[in-house]
Amino acid sequence: MLYRPYALALRDPRWRKKRFLILAEHRYKCDDCSLRRAGLEVHHIEYIEGRAPWDYSSDYFAVLCRNCHARRHFPVNPDEHQACLFSDPELSPLLQKPYAA
């Protein structure tokens, strides 16, 4: 089982901070196509049972644009995309001002 209240966890300031760190480490570029664009999503490569999203090391994440993100999930295992709750388009407008408080 995944840590269930993920929708809530993704609104946690600890995750927002972690997410910015991940995006900064990847230089705000898609890992697969190297494009910089708004709407980058953080893809979670592997889950560990019971672990909060901010308690993973950066190795567990990829930064992908929406197209590449979809390509990673589909058509290999369409169900997996629902499990990747780390993609959070709702927060992507923040990308345009990565250093805003």
CB of 101 to Zn ion, least distance (A): 28
Q: Is the distance from CB of 63 to CB of 33 less than 8 angstroms?
A: no
Size of the site for Zn ion (CB under 5 A): 7
Q: Helix %, strand %, coil % for the chain, to 5?
A: 45, 10, 50
Q: Is the distance from CB of 38 to CB of 66 less than 8 angstroms?
A: no
For 72, the 3-state DSSP assignment is helix
CB of 29 to Zn ion, least distance (A): 8
Shortest-Cβ-distance residue relative to Zn ion = 84
Residues between 70 and 99 that touch Zn ion (CB under 5 A): 84
Residues between 30 and 59 that touch Zn ion (CB under 5 A): 30, 32-33, 43
Of 23, 63, 68, 91, the one binding Zn ion (CB under 5 A) is 68
Tokens 């600890």 correspond to what residue?
Answer: 14
> CA-CA distances (angstroms) from residue 5 to 31, 90, 94, 95?
28, 17, 22, 24
Of 23, 42, 63, 65, the one binding Zn ion (CB under 5 A) is 65
CB of 44 to Zn ion, least distance (A): 6
Binding site for Zn ion (CB under 5 A): 30, 32-33, 43, 65, 68, 84
